[in-house]
């Protein structure tokens, strides 16, 4: 069975109007996407479908957390996710790639799979720079042992070279020309 099948919303048998659905996203969901930038998370999605005659409108309330790796100390931490998203699904014969908030599906479709849209919403909520959050005192919660080790490695990797005195004469001429 396709693990992403549980993110399909069957709409053909539903009456016009609003309908509620609950979806859960976990590690299995993220593992289905090749080169996923998020691998672990626990997220709940409250979906409101407003079925209309010519289109479907979806409202998503996405809450939970995703596990990220800190760019500073390489430790894992939970990053909170709180999103409100809106998607319009239209029926047609062509794929609309111009508007990310409108999905076009065939007239013969009786369900819509929301997995790709949900993955994109959650992925876009990931910050560009991931760092452990500050504690209540405003101090970093990064791993102090790792920061100390990284600082030592950085200091050890800097070259300890003697200055090249061959350039002193040119530097002196340059400085005299500035006066």
Domain that holds residue 119: 3-124
Residue 9 lies in a domain: yes
**What residues does 76 pair with on adjacent strands?**
69
Residue 47 lies in a domain: yes
Mean per-residue pLDDT for 125-135? Answer: 92
pLDDT tens-digit readout, 31-54 = 999 999 999 999 999 999 999 999
Nearest Cα residue to 30 out of 142, 120, 159: 120
pTM of the model: 0.80
Q: What is the pLDDT of residue 44?
A: 98
Counted domains in the chain: 1
Nearest Cα residue to 130 out of 41, 70, 81: 70
Residue 15 lies in a domain: yes
Residue 163 lies in a domain: no
* Residue 81 near residue 66 (C-beta atoms within 8 A): yes
pLDDT tens-digit readout, 50-82 = 999 999 999 999 999 999 999 999 999 999 999
Residue 157 lies in a domain: no
Residue 139 lies in a domain: no
């Amino acid at each position: 069975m396709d693990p992403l099948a549980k993110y399909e919303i069957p709409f053909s048998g539903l009456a016009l109007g609003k309908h509620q659905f609950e979806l859960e996203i976990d590690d299995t969901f993220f593992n289905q996407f090749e080169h996923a930038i998020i691998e672990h998370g626990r997220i709940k999605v409250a979906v409101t479908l407003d079925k209309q005659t010519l289109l479907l409108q979806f409202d998503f309330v996405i809450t939970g957390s995703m596990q990220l790796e800190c760019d500073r100390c390489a430790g894992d931490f939970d990053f909170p996710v709180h999103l409100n998203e809106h998607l319009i699904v239209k029926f047609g014969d062509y794929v609309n790639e111009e508007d990310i908030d409108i999905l076009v599906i065939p007239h013969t479709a009786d369900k819509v799979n929301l997995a790709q849209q949900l993955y994109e919403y959650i992925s876009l909520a990931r910050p560009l720079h991931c760092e452990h959050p500050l504690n209540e005192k405003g101090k970093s919660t990064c791993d102090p042992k790792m920061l100390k080790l990284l600082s030592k490695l950085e200091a050890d990797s800097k070259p300890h070279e003697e200055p090249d005195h061959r350039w002193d004469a040119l530097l002196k001429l340059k400085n005299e020309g500035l006066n």
